[in-house]
Amino acid sequence: MARVRRSSWTDLGLADGSGMDVIRATRHHFPGVRIVVATGTSKVANAVAIFEAGAYRVLTKPIDLAKLRETLILALEGAPAPSVSAIMNSEDARLNELDRRVTSALGQIYCLFQPIVDVRHRRVFAYEALLRCQDVAYRSPLALLSDAARVDKSRELSRGVRAAIGEAAKNLPDGPLLFVNLQADDLTDPLLFSADDPLAPYAHRVVLELTEQARLNGRADVKSAIADLRARGYRVAIDDLGAGYSSLALFVELAPDFVKVDMSLVRGIDGDEVRQQIVAAMLQVCSRKRTLAILEGVETQAEDDALQDLGARWMQGYLFARPSPPFVNPFAG
């Protein structure tokens, strides 16, 4: 929340009360204040509600600094707030353009594959499929995932990714498994649970890697969905174990077949006794639970050596191979 000549900040997701109440109270007690709201949602109805509560402008995260600067200049110059109809027209136009861009990008997606290796036997244990897009605006897959969610095309994107993986899996070498990232909303997609899904013919070799743990944690339907997928032959992995409470809670709740130990614990582990102790404890727990632990983000030989000294056997990272077209074997030749 920004005020002309003086600024202060709050959050719409306050623990005690609502940020909308703060906007209304500020407008009531300080009618001259120009309130600028930054929000993570692009829904027009939300923007309209924020304006009706008394906001001067609404910016969508991630904030464009040039747009923020322009907004603050307008506030300082006393420019009037836009009308609700103008906001709706502007937002609709922006979302229509975003929908067009995402729709175009969906026709340009493909996957690269990064090996997960068994360092003890120097062989490829699995490959992780990683989303990529030929559209230069979506060099970051996170940007495409975010924009697809904003225009309600997350399911279409996920299905397209699974189709690309299914096509590549026709040439998967004998032996290695295939790790496939699964978004929280994918667990509500009926196609994933049917024999018509592109991954279904390879279910016995596919490991569904659960991301977005914060959105999955505590949902009553997660355990039943995972049980259904396991009955169809899929195995399950938890991503980024050790990165936060949510991944630990899912580890306890779901008893996954695999976990990916977060790279923040791997980076520089050769010179960090605390990281070594944490990873050693995690490896012991995984061993007792009969869960296979994969160490992510291994980039140096020193990290590899330190992890092997702790008993780690399965690793993934640039030290072995970067994401590449299917299916590179770093131990070949």
| pLDDT tens digit sequence for 215-273 | 776 677 888 999 999 999 999 999 888 676 667 888 888 889 999 998 999 999 999 99
Percentage of the chain modeled with pLDDT above 90: 58
- Write down the pLDDT at residue 21: 82
In the structure, what pLDDT confidence band is assigned to residue 72 with cuts at 50, 70 and 90? confident
Query: Comparing 79-83, 88-92, 207-211, which segment has the lowest mean pLDDT?
Result: 88-92
Contact 39, 1 (CB under 8 A): no
Which residue ranges does the chain devote to CATH 3.40.50.2300? 2-82
Task: Output phi, psi for 329, to 5 deg.
Answer: -115, 105
Amino acid identity, residue 98? L
Cα–Cα distance between 104 and 263 in angstroms, integer?
33
Which residue ranges does the chain devote to CATH 3.20.20.450? 108-315
**Long-range interactions of 147-152: CB distance < 8 A, separation 24+:** 147/98, 147/101, 147/102, 147/105, 148/102, 148/106, 150/42, 150/95, 150/98, 151/95, 151/98, 151/99, 151/102
Other CB atoms within a 10 A radius of the CB of residue 248 amount to 17
Task: Output phi, psi for 107, to 5 deg.
Answer: -85, 0
**Long-range interactions of 217-222: CB distance < 8 A, separation 24+:** 217/245, 217/246, 217/249, 217/250, 217/253, 218/249, 219/184, 221/187, 221/188, 222/187, 222/250, 222/253, 222/254
Cα–Cα distance between 84 and 90 in angstroms, integer?
10
Amino acid identity, residue 7? S
Contact 89, 302 (CB under 8 A): no
DSSP annotation string for 157-192: HHHHHHHHHHHHGGGPPSS-EEEEEE-GGGGG-GGG
Give me the mean pLDDT over the 107-133 stretch: 97
Residue 286, pLDDT > 50, answer yes
What is the token pair recorded at 210? 């659960």
Residue 64, pLDDT > 60, answer yes
3-state secondary structure of 210: strand
Percentage of the chain modeled with pLDDT above 70: 86
Helix residue ranges per DSSP H, 37-185: 44-53, 65-76, 84-106, 141-150, 154-168
Fold of the CATH domain 108-315:
TIM Barrel (3.20.20)
Other CB atoms within a 10 A radius of the CB of residue 241 amount to 26
Residue 11, pLDDT > 70, answer no
Cα–Cα distance between 165 and 170 in angstroms, integer?
9
- Write down the pLDDT at residue 94: 78
Query: Comparing 97-111, 207-221, 304-318, which segment has the lowest mean pLDDT?
Result: 207-221
Cα–Cα distance between 268 and 249 in angstroms, integer?
26
The correct CATH number of 2-82 out of 3.40.980.10, 3.40.50.2300, 3.40.630.30, 3.30.450.40 is 3.40.50.2300
